[in-house]
Chains A and B, each alone.
Chain A
Amino acid sequence: MLKMNNISRIYQNDTIQTHALRDFSLNVKAGEFVAVTGPSGSGKSTFLNVAGLLDHFDGGQYELDGVSVQGLKDDELSRLRNEKLGFIFQNYNLIPDYSIFDNVDMPLRYRGFSARERKRRVEEALEKVGLASRLKYLPSQLSGGQQQRVAIARALAGEPKILLADEPTGNLDSLMARQVMEILHDLNKDGATIIMVTHDPDQAREVSRNVQVIDGQLADFKIYAPLDRTAGNTGKSVSISAAVEEEMADA
């Protein structure tokens, strides 16, 4: 579903060259729920931006759902973002003056769907996150958790191949964070592929796969069985070298 091979991303100003990603390789299969963890400044967000086609990369190969993204023009990248990716941001990124319906409807507008189809999709997406009755509300009339659920609905409405979540619970209290994570797990159970950047080790342990990024490189990863969804959840640890070799082979 997502194949990155030796991706590098370098930020450069007049005097300093910063390697935000270096030889970064990752292969995410359909239906996986991958947590990307690592310390601040390690390159997690850069990875997510590159994966989400929000930023370009300077070297390597990247294939998204069978499409090689190198050399694609702006409108082709936009179409890929629109059709194959759904974004969930830490600070929700809802437009405050737009109703919930309009916020969720936004990506569908650029897809060229009919008004009826858009309405169906918006209502269905909001139904999934339990906010079907709040169509006309403004974001400011909702709690943080509800706003993030609206953001999830917006990401879902286009029926994307991959959901990219950047610390989706970072701004929420534990109860609301739990609700949001439940929704993400339910979506994953229904077949959604999810890549989530998080600082929360508990959340990382809950998902099927945890990828650690340090200094812009894939440092380590462990594969866990879901924490409390599979009996005897102790996490299946794999030795670092074996795991890296396996990952590289996949990529």
Chain B
Amino acid sequence: MRSNSMFAYNLSLALKSFKQAPSLYFLVILTLSIGVGLLCANLALVNSMTSDPIPEKSGQLFHVSMNTWPNDQPQAEPFHILRYREAMKISSSDIPKNSAVFYASGVYARDSASTSLKRFDSSVRATTPGFFALTNAPFAYGSGFAKSSGMEVVIGNELNQKIFAGENSVGKVLELDGELLTIVGVLKPWHLRPLFYHATEGRAFNLTDDIYAPLETSIDLGWSIHARSSSTVSYQGVKFTRDRNVFYLQAWVELENSAQQQAFQYYLDNYSQSLKDAGEHPLAILNELRDVNAWLLEQNIVDQNVLAFTFASVLFLCVCVFNASSLLLSRFHSAKFEVGLRRAIGASNKDMLVQGITESALLGIVAGLLSLLLSWFFLKLSIKFLPDLENLAVLDPKLLMLGMALALVTAIASALYPLYRANRYTISAELK
């Protein structure tokens, strides 16, 4: 009961104190807000870079790298892109719960029924049907396609918004580079940060794709490869890659337990060995399965510049805390008489400490709210100068909470030394 009443009393004292020196408290709040806001903006970028994009099963999804380069000048390590024949071998295995083999492409898309000839430059994921179940792609309408061949597509929310104003477009026909394909599924807004299924070639923070098309159909239509590819032979286009040494497909498998993982590793190794026995490659049997987080770590997707900025903003926040502390020191010094009076009439050091901490906590809450606004502003400013950051600059609820907590902690930390000093004098000296 007393603690509740004292808490309310201390709050009212804090508000009175703010009214007594509004400019000084505004400066303290601004100082802390800028420090916390800047740090939060940087942490938002780091958070996007380091977060687990599919936490519900990131430990069960494995990227496949194989060491099957056909001559004696191998890559430094197992290759992250595969030939069509290896990809099909993976696709045909019944060991994984799901598997996906795909490459990135691009087309111009328009509604075939539209009178407008406006076409939209669209990214394409040419994939096997297992992609949707493997990535937990969220469907708003319809479903994925069932086979790797067929004039069907799934489209993303953004393209659906652009072409069909967000309506249910299942059954409608898109004209993609002159070919007519029917929409069988529309995805909900889908943000993968990082874009784990294609984290190579600096694409880890790209948006999810506009169009998901059956792999075989995409190859047959000659939709070109919009990502890294390597080959030991010349070829005229993707249509001619099925039986050649052209490496361009990425493969992911979903393995639910270590037994499946071992079995699939054995399956890959066995396949590599059979190729080697047939004289198709001279290399050591070295196939790697890396789960989502290990794969993202391997790709070094965290930008070192952002890390350096984050470290600098931590130091900047320390400077802000020192500044806020010296401002509060002057404030508490000017309130020395009141501290002395309160202690003279019965407040203990602990009472004064609690009063000071309540005041600084209130400061922290206000500074926290302002720092979140400033974080948002700093992120927008960053995007203005570095548009590549757009998909990264996201303040998620976890960060908002962290920002508030940081503001609270720094506000209290700023007040600790002034409070210590204020309570250090003898009461008679404070009252003089």
Given known pairs A97-B16, A115-B5, the reply for A52 and B348 (CB within 8 Å) is no
Given known pairs A54-B431, A97-B20, A115-B5, the reply for A154 and B426 (CB within 8 Å) is no
User: Which of A56, A75, A89 is B350 in contact with, Cβ under 8 Å?
Assistant: A75
Task: Please state if B9 and A109 are interface contacts (CB–CB under 8 Å).
Answer: yes
Question: How far is it, in angstroms, between the C-alpha of A66 and the C-alpha of B338 when the chains are bound?
Answer: 30
Residues in A105-159 with C-beta less than 8 Å from chain B: 106-107, 109-112, 114-115, 154, 158
Shortest A43–chain B CB gap in Å is: 13
Residues in B412-428 with C-beta less than 8 Å from chain A: 426-428
Residues in A94-110 with C-beta less than 8 Å from chain B: 95, 97-98, 106-107, 109-110
Most buried by A among B6, B346, B350: B346
Q: A87 an interface residue at 8 Å Cβ cutoff?
A: yes
Residues in B328-350 with C-beta less than 8 Å from chain A: 337-338, 341-350
Q: B177 an interface residue at 8 Å Cβ cutoff?
A: no
User: Which of A75, A98, A106 is B345 in contact with, Cβ under 8 Å?
Assistant: A106
User: Across the interface, which residues of B come within 8 angstroms of A93, CB to CB?
Assistant: 337, 341, 344, 431
Shortest B297–chain A CB gap in Å is: 53
Task: Please state if B427 and A109 are interface contacts (CB–CB under 8 Å).
Answer: no
Question: How far is it, in angstroms, between the C-alpha of A112 and the C-alpha of B5 when the chains are bound?
Answer: 8
Task: Please state if B426 and A81 are interface contacts (CB–CB under 8 Å).
Answer: no
Question: How far is it, in angstroms, between the C-alpha of A22 and the C-alpha of B198 when the chains are bound?
Answer: 85
Task: Please state if A110 and B347 are interface contacts (CB–CB under 8 Å).
Answer: yes
User: Which of B2, B19, B431 is A89 in contact with, Cβ under 8 Å?
Assistant: B431
User: Across the interface, which residues of A come within 8 angstroms of B342, CB to CB?
Assistant: 106, 110
User: B347 — nearest CB in chain A belongs to which residue?
Assistant: A110
User: B17 — nearest CB in chain A belongs to which residue?
Assistant: A97
User: A87 — nearest CB in chain B belongs to which residue?
Assistant: B344
Task: Please state if A158 and B427 are interface contacts (CB–CB under 8 Å).
Answer: no
Q: B220 an interface residue at 8 Å Cβ cutoff?
A: no
* Interface bits B391-432 vs A (CB < 8 Å: 1, else 0): 000000000000000000000000000000000001110010
Q: A25 an interface residue at 8 Å Cβ cutoff?
A: no
Question: How far is it, in angstroms, between the C-alpha of A109 and the C-alpha of B5 when the chains are bound?
Answer: 8
Question: How far is it, in angstroms, between the C-alpha of A98 and the C-alpha of B348 when the chains are bound?
Answer: 21
Q: A74 an interface residue at 8 Å Cβ cutoff?
A: yes
Residues in A37-86 with C-beta less than 8 Å from chain B: 45, 49, 52, 54-56, 74-75, 77-79, 81-83
Q: B351 an interface residue at 8 Å Cβ cutoff?
A: yes
Question: How far is it, in angstroms, between the C-alpha of A106 and the C-alpha of B345 when the chains are bound?
Answer: 8
Question: How far is it, in angstroms, between the C-alpha of A114 and the C-alpha of B1 when the chains are bound?
Answer: 9
Shortest B360–chain A CB gap in Å is: 20
User: Across the interface, which residues of A come within 8 angstroms of B5, CB to CB?
Assistant: 109, 112, 114-115
Task: Please state if A81 and B344 are interface contacts (CB–CB under 8 Å).
Answer: yes
Question: How far is it, in angstroms, between the C-alpha of A98 and the C-alpha of B9 when the chains are bound?
Answer: 13
Shortest B134–chain A CB gap in Å is: 64
Task: Please state if A154 and B345 are interface contacts (CB–CB under 8 Å).
Answer: yes
Given known pairs A54-B431, A55-B427, the reply for A74 and B341 (CB within 8 Å) is no
Question: How far is it, in angstroms, between the C-alpha of A52 and the C-alpha of B345 when the chains are bound?
Answer: 10
Task: Please state if A56 and B351 are interface contacts (CB–CB under 8 Å).
Answer: no
Number of A-B contacts (CB under 8 A): 72
User: Across the interface, which residues of A come within 8 angstroms of B349, CB to CB?
Assistant: 74-75, 78
Q: What is the size, in residues, of chain B's interface with A at 8 Å between Cβ atoms?
A: 25
User: Which of A56, A81, A95, A115 is B346 in contact with, Cβ under 8 Å?
Assistant: A81
Question: How far is it, in angstroms, between the C-alpha of A87 and the C-alpha of B428 when the chains are bound?
Answer: 12
Task: Please state if A81 and B16 are interface contacts (CB–CB under 8 Å).
Answer: no
Task: Please state if A54 and B20 are interface contacts (CB–CB under 8 Å).
Answer: no
Question: How far is it, in angstroms, between the C-alpha of A55 and the C-alpha of B2 when the chains are bound?
Answer: 28
Shortest B283–chain A CB gap in Å is: 77
User: Across the interface, which residues of B come within 8 angstroms of A115, CB to CB?
Assistant: 5
Shortest A22–chain B CB gap in Å is: 18
Shortest B180–chain A CB gap in Å is: 78
Question: How far is it, in angstroms, between the C-alpha of A158 and the C-alpha of B338 when the chains are bound?
Answer: 19
Question: How far is it, in angstroms, between the C-alpha of A106 and the C-alpha of B346 when the chains are bound?
Answer: 9
Task: Please state if A78 and B431 are interface contacts (CB–CB under 8 Å).
Answer: no
User: A158 — nearest CB in chain B belongs to which residue?
Assistant: B346
Question: How far is it, in angstroms, between the C-alpha of A23 and the C-alpha of B380 when the chains are bound?
Answer: 73
Question: How far is it, in angstroms, between the C-alpha of A98 and the C-alpha of B19 when the chains are bound?
Answer: 12
Question: How far is it, in angstroms, between the C-alpha of A115 and the C-alpha of B351 when the chains are bound?
Answer: 18
User: A107 — nearest CB in chain B belongs to which residue?
Assistant: B345
User: Across the interface, which residues of B come within 8 angstroms of A45, CB to CB?
Assistant: 428
Question: How far is it, in angstroms, between the C-alpha of A107 and the C-alpha of B346 when the chains are bound?
Answer: 6
Shortest B422–chain A CB gap in Å is: 14
Shortest A21–chain B CB gap in Å is: 13
Task: Please state if A54 and B427 are interface contacts (CB–CB under 8 Å).
Answer: yes
* Interface bits B87-98 vs A (CB < 8 Å: 1, else 0): 000000000000
Task: Please state if B344 and A54 are interface contacts (CB–CB under 8 Å).
Answer: yes
Task: Please state if B6 and A78 are interface contacts (CB–CB under 8 Å).
Answer: no
Task: Please state if B346 and A111 are interface contacts (CB–CB under 8 Å).
Answer: yes
Shortest B197–chain A CB gap in Å is: 62
User: Across the interface, which residues of A come within 8 angstroms of B9, CB to CB?
Assistant: 109
User: Across the interface, which residues of A come within 8 angstroms of B431, CB to CB?
Assistant: 54, 89, 93
User: Across the interface, which residues of A come within 8 angstroms of B348, CB to CB?
Assistant: 74-75, 77-79, 110
Question: How far is it, in angstroms, between the C-alpha of A95 and the C-alpha of B339 when the chains are bound?
Answer: 11
User: B343 — nearest CB in chain A belongs to which residue?
Assistant: A78
User: Across the interface, which residues of B come within 8 angstroms of A107, CB to CB?
Assistant: 345-346
Task: Please state if B20 and A78 are interface contacts (CB–CB under 8 Å).
Answer: no
Given known pairs A78-B346, A112-B2, the reply for A95 and B341 (CB within 8 Å) is yes
User: Which of B1, B351, B426 is A54 in contact with, Cβ under 8 Å?
Assistant: B426
Q: What are 8 contact pairs spanning A and B, CB under 8 A?
A: A54-B344, A78-B351, A81-B344, A81-B345, A82-B346, A93-B341, A110-B347, A110-B348
| A residues with CB within 8 A of B | 45, 49, 52, 54-56, 74-75, 77-79, 81-83, 87, 89, 93, 95, 97-98, 106-107, 109-112, 114-115, 154, 158
Given known contacts A78-B343, A78-B349, what 16 new A-B pairs fall within 8 Å (CB)? Answer: A45-B428, A56-B426, A75-B349, A77-B348, A78-B347, A81-B343, A82-B346, A97-B16, A106-B342, A106-B345, A107-B346, A110-B345, A110-B346, A110-B348, A111-B346, A158-B346
3 closest Cβ pairs, A-B complex: A82-B346, A78-B348, A107-B345
